[in-house]
Each structure stands twice: as structure tokens, then as C-alpha cells.
Amino acid sequence: GQQVMQIPQYQHVQEGEDFTTYCNSSTTLSNIQWYKQRPGGHPVFLIQLVKSGEVKKQKRLTFQFGEAKKNSSLHITATQTTDVGTYFCAGTNNAGNMLTFGGGTRLMVKP
């Protein structure tokens, strides 16, 4: 079945440093979504990418979808303590609307 891997599993950064998490799927995706989960919270939708090579920005966050639609990345510029949480990518393939989540990258930001 479809597998979605994310690296790194954990990342500690100093406030102000940049952060990137990478997502790779074993199969071609029809779209990819990114979610953020704060400690003790539930996943909250950040963005969806649909087109091959698509790049979207939300303030300090930049999301990319690979040309082959099998990989994606999330980059945060100049992290802040409010960025703390686990970032999950989740993909769907053409077979249906089931979201397959990656393992998540837990971001910790030192003030």
C-alpha cells in the first residue's frame, strides 16, 4: 500500500533559524496536504498542493510539491516559538480520498 515518509523525525532549532521538513511518497499523489499539530492538540490544516511543481507561501512558510508528485517540503523561515509542534504531510492518490499521513516532524524552538 501507499507509504508516506517524513524526515527528520525531530528538529531542534534556535529561534530565528530556518527549518525544513521533507515528505516522500512511495506512489504518485493526486494531492498533498500539510497539517500542524500542537502538543496535546489535533491536526490543523495548513495547505493543499495539487499541481506538479507547485509552490505556495503563507507568510514565513513555503510549501513545495515535486515535479513527479511524489515528494513535498515545508520550509519555515526565521522560526518563532509559536511554530512549535509536529508537522505532518498527508497525501491522497488517484484511487480514493483516503489521507495517508507521514510520520511527522516534531519541531522544537529554543527561545
Partner 1 sequence: EPEVTQTPSHQVTQMGQEVILRCVPISNHLYFYWYRQILGQKVEFLVSFYNNEISEKSEIFDDQFSVERPDGSNFTLKIRSTKLEDSAMYFCASTGHPYNEQFFGPGTRLTVL
Q: Rule CB under 8 A: is residue 11 a binding residue for partner 1?
A: no
The residue behind cell 511554530 is 83
Q: Rule CB under 8 A: is residue 90 a binding residue for partner 1?
A: yes
Angle at 37 between CA 87 and CA 88, to 5 degrees: 30
Angle at 78 between CA 67 and CA 99, to 5 degrees: 40
Q: Rule CB under 8 A: is residue 61 a binding residue for partner 1?
A: no
Strands 31-37 and 44-49, how do they pair?
antiparallel
Q: Rule CB under 8 A: is residue 82 a binding residue for partner 1?
A: no
Among positions 14, 42, 59, 111, the unique one binding partner 1 when judged by CB under 8 A: 42
Q: Which is nearer to partner 1, 96 or 111 (CB)?
A: 96
CB 57, min distance to partner 1, A: 17
CB 104 within 8 A of CB 5: no
Return d(Cα 63, Cα 47) in angstroms, integer.
Answer: 8
Q: What number of chain residues touch partner 1 (CB under 8 A)?
A: 23
Among positions 20, 27, 62, 92, the unique one binding partner 1 when judged by CB under 8 A: 92
Return d(Cα 60, Cα 80) in angstroms, integer.
Answer: 10
Q: Which residues bind partner 1 (CB under 8 A)?
A: 30-31, 33, 35, 37, 41-45, 48, 88, 90, 92, 96-104
